[in-house]
């Protein structure tokens, strides 16, 4: 009897072990599953010292005055982003991004809105290929600088104001240390890329070949939907005019040489029946060759723009961009040389060059020309004064930059010379020192020709102003080709006080436009327009997790008597802007930061007396990364 009991017990015990073993070896459905993301709270308080005219509506002046308080970013940027990803095996992965904006906008009819907050992506690989597919809401991407990319320049910019794409750092000093060492700060995927809603395919092919394709909507190919009064809700929208972009790149790497063929195309229509097309087409060839002592980057190609007014009369135009980066062993100091030529026949508002030559037709998909992406242009237009590294069509020029270090002092200098290819237009445009603050005067829209004299236009996080030249012929064009000069100087100094690090940054920009070529910026009245600005910043680590900051900026803009005069004063523009700021960065935890900025801003044009304003602006940002 006892032997039987022991035998049964042994069998049950063995069975339980076998069952447990089977449970232990059962394969998991996923190798890993991750949830990450970030939360960004943003609040702003602004106080005007006097009313300012921002535009007119139905013949009535619209002013802003007094106090304004805003919670949430009004620049189409999310409050919360969730990144969810998983991997079933080593060769397959999937993921989705859930992007949440502030929903407290008073709009009950939210279900009709276009939700841009869901991204889907997946990838798979074989022994010879790897394919990544992204589709949905908004992605940030680059094909090449002249086809689908964004301006990033020579990393000469102010770091006082925080950008939405600035990542959260573990140490409070990291942002400023990186800028001091590298001339740049770490950025997320939005930096120097273009936004696209649609489909992106990336494929790594055999023999170091890669393929990239895009299809969808870009920042300037938005659409407005006409909601109907249909009680049965059969038809939600009436406007279905196409407005999309497509393109891609095929790249091949052979040792130190990388070559590519790049394409960007856009199609839409200027009428609601979709009979009058608006098209952009650009194809380029890129080369990147790098050795220990020098690097060559080139992109050359052809482009064409057509609409109901220009049609095929323009034909194809050339695009040429050549970069040479030289090691200090060749010329004692590091040199960067950039030569470029962009035809007046080429238009592309999703690249690093602005449009100065073409009055573009508006897409019928837009309806409301102040909606985001509706007017086809979200960057500066006119014969623009632009930073070094940013290009313009109908222009050729050369940029030369050099930098060197003297112990703890880093010095960079740049000089740019450019000239128009054709005598087109009589306008000059330029941006402002307090451009970010000014762009917040017009919330949730990007209107053109606003302000007390209808000279200002709003773009993403900036404002540019346009003036007219008066020496024109019967066709409205000038008898000369406009010439442009820009000089940029940057000083970066690191110091230690009470065993704590500190940084001093200076950035100066000196620009002129005149009727003749010049080797350097013209500083006298022979220049049609002169634009100068100086920015001085100081950052000091007061405690381990606290960095305090100070900022002073001054701009001076002067036109001569060949530019548009004010009828009342009989004088050209004579502008001065001032910005004075303080703030702090406080690291609450390794993944959480609190950022405060306060700026006093002032602007006055003594020749156009209505164009003046002053006030205070404070911003508070809480950023959590998880």
Per-residue pLDDT at 105: 54
Residue 535, Cα to own-chain centre: how many angstroms?
21
In a domain, 3, yes or no: no
How does pLDDT run across 583-620, given as a tens digit for each residue?
A: 999 999 989 999 999 999 999 999 999 999 999 999 99
- Whether 95 contacts 83, CB under 8 Å: yes
Per-residue pLDDT at 147: 95
Cα(483)–Cα(571) distance, integer angstroms: 23
Average pLDDT over residues 524-533: 96
Per-residue pLDDT at 87: 84
Highest mean pLDDT out of 24-33, 302-311, 358-367, 476-485: 476-485
Q: Which is more confident, 229 or 486?
A: 486
- Whether 117 contacts 139, CB under 8 Å: no
Contacts of 334 (CB under 8 A, 6+ apart): 325, 326, 327, 328, 402, 403, 404
Per-residue pLDDT at 434: 94
Query: Is the pLDDT assigned to residue 36 strictly greater than 70?
Result: yes
8-state DSSP, 26: S
Percent of the chain with pLDDT over 90: 48
- Whether 358 contacts 264, CB under 8 Å: no
Average pLDDT over residues 446-458: 87
Beta strands in 327-455 (DSSP E): 335-342, 353-354, 383-384, 391-392, 395-406, 409-420, 427-431
In a domain, 18, yes or no: no
Per-residue pLDDT at 6: 55
pLDDT band (50, 70, 90) for residue 76: low
CATH code assigned at 106: 2.40.170
The predicted model scores a pTM of 0.85
Cα(343)–Cα(370) distance, integer angstroms: 29
Cα(482)–Cα(430) distance, integer angstroms: 14
Alpha-carbon torsion (175, 181, 182, 183), positive or negative: positive
In a domain, 323, yes or no: yes
- Whether 326 contacts 294, CB under 8 Å: yes
8-state DSSP, 469: B
How does pLDDT run across 286-299, given as a tens digit for each residue?
A: 999 999 888 999 99
Per-residue pLDDT at 555: 98
Contacts of 26 (CB under 8 A, 6+ apart): none
Per-residue pLDDT at 231: 52
In a domain, 7, yes or no: no
Contacts of 401 (CB under 8 A, 6+ apart): 154, 335, 336, 337, 338, 388, 412, 413, 414, 415
In a domain, 592, yes or no: yes
Query: Is the pLDDT assigned to residue 26 strictly greater than 70?
Result: no
Cα(460)–Cα(515) distance, integer angstroms: 31
Closest among 395, 470, 457 to 429, alpha carbons compared: 457
**Burial class for 350, CB neighbours closer than 10 Å (0-12, 13-18, 19+):** buried
In a domain, 43, yes or no: yes
Give the lowest-confidence range in 133-137, 227-231, 239-243, 572-576: 227-231
- Whether 311 contacts 275, CB under 8 Å: no
Per-residue pLDDT at 271: 80
How does pLDDT run across 204-252, given as a tens digit for each residue?
A: 999 999 999 999 988 777 655 555 555 555 544 455 678 889 999 999 9
For residue 430, what are the domain limits? 30-625
Q: Which is more confident, 230 or 486?
A: 486
Residue that has been written with the tokens 């442009």 in this structure: 484
- A 10 A CB-CB count for 208 gives 12
Per-residue pLDDT at 219: 77
Domain count for the chain: 1
In a domain, 23, yes or no: no
Cα(455)–Cα(447) distance, integer angstroms: 11
Per-residue pLDDT at 374: 42
- Whether 622 contacts 71, CB under 8 Å: no
Query: Is the pLDDT assigned to residue 377 strictly greater than 50?
Result: no
Query: Is the pLDDT assigned to residue 8 strictly greater than 80?
Result: no
Three-class DSSP category at 210 = strand
Give the lowest-confidence range in 361-375, 452-466, 556-570: 361-375
Cα(487)–Cα(402) distance, integer angstroms: 12
How does pLDDT run across 255-268, given as a tens digit for each residue?
A: 999 999 999 999 98
Average pLDDT over residues 80-98: 83
Average pLDDT over residues 401-409: 89
Closest among 390, 369, 395 to 379, alpha carbons compared: 390
8-state DSSP, 263: E
Cα(375)–Cα(336) distance, integer angstroms: 36
In a domain, 15, yes or no: no
């Amino acid at each position: 009897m006892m032997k039987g009991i022991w035998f049964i017990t042994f069998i049950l015990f063995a069975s339980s072990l076998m069952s447990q073993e089977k449970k232990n070896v059962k394969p998991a459905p996923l190798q890993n599953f991750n949830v990450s993301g970030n939360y960004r709270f943003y609040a702003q308080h602004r106080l005007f010292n006097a009313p300012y005219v921002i535009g007119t509506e139905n013949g009535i002046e619209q002013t802003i005055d007094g106090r304004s308080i805003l919670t949430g970013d009004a620049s189409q940027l999310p409050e919360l982003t969730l990144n969810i990803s998983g991997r079933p095996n080593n060769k397959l992965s999937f993921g989705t991004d859930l992007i949440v904006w502030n929903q407290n906008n008073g709009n009950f009819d939210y279900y009709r809105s276009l939700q841009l907050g869901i991204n889907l992506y997946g990838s798979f690989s074989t022994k010879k290929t790897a394919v990544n597919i992204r589709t949905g809401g908004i992605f940030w991407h680059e094909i090449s600088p002249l086809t689908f990319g964004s301006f990033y320049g020579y990393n000469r910019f102010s770091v006082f104001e925080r950008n939405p794409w600035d990542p959260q750092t573990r140490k409070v000093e990291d942002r400023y240390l990186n800028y001091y060492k590298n001339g740049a700060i770490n950025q997320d995927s939005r930096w120097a890329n273009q936004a696209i809603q649609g489909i992106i395919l990336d494929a790594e092919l055999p023999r170091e070949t890669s393929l990239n394709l895009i299809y969808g909507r870009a920042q300037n190919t938005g659409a407005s939907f006409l909601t109907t009064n249909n009680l049965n809700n059969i038809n939600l929208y009436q406007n279905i005019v196409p407005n999309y972009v497509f393109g891609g790149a095929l790249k091949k790497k052979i040792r130190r040489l990388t070559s590519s063929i790049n394409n960007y195309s856009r199609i839409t229509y200027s009428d609601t029946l979709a009979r009058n097309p608006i098209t952009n087409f650009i194809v380029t060839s890129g080369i990147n060759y790098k050795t220990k002592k020098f690097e060559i980057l080139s992109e050359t190609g052809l482009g064409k723009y057509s609409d109901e007014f220009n049609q095929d009369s323009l034909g194809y135009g050339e695009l040429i961009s050549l970069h040479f980066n030289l090691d200090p062993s060749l010329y004692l100091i590091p040199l960067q040389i950039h030569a470029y030529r962009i035809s007046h026949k080429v238009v592309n508002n999703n690249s690093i060059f602005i449009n100065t030559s073409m009055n573009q037709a508006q897409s019928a998909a837009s309806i409301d020309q102040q909606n985001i992406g509706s007017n086809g242009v979200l960057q500066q237009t006119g014969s623009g004064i632009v930073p070094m590294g940013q290009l313009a069509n109908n222009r050729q020029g050369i940029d030369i930059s050099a930098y060197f270090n003297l112990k703890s002092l880093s010095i960079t200098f740049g000089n740019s010379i450019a000239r128009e290819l054709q005598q087109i237009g009589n306008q000059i445009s330029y941006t402002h020192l307090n451009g970010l603050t000014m762009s917040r005067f017009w919330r949730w829209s990007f209107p053109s020709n606003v302000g007390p004299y209808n000279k200002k236009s709003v773009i993403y996080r900036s404002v540019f102003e346009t003036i007219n030249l008066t020496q024109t012929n019967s066709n409205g064009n000038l008898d000369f080709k406009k010439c442009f000069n820009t000089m940029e100087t940057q000083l970066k100094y690191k110091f230690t006080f009470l065993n704590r690090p500190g940084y001093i940054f200076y950035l100066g920009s000196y620009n002129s436009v005149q009727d003749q070529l010049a080797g350097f910026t013209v500083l006298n009245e022979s220049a049609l327009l002169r634009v100068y600005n100086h920015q001085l910043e100081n950052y000091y680590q007061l405690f381990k997790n606290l960095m305090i900051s100070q900022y002073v900026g001054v701009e001076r803009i002067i036109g001569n008597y060949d530019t548009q005069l004010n009828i009342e004063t009989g004088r050209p523009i004579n502008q001065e802007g001032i910005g004075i700021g303080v703030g702090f960065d406080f690291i609450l935890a390794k993944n959480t930061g609190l950022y405060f900025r306060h700026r006093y801003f002032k602007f006055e044009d003594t020749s156009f007396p209505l164009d003046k304003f002053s006030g205070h602006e404070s911003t508070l940002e809480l950023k959590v990364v998880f």
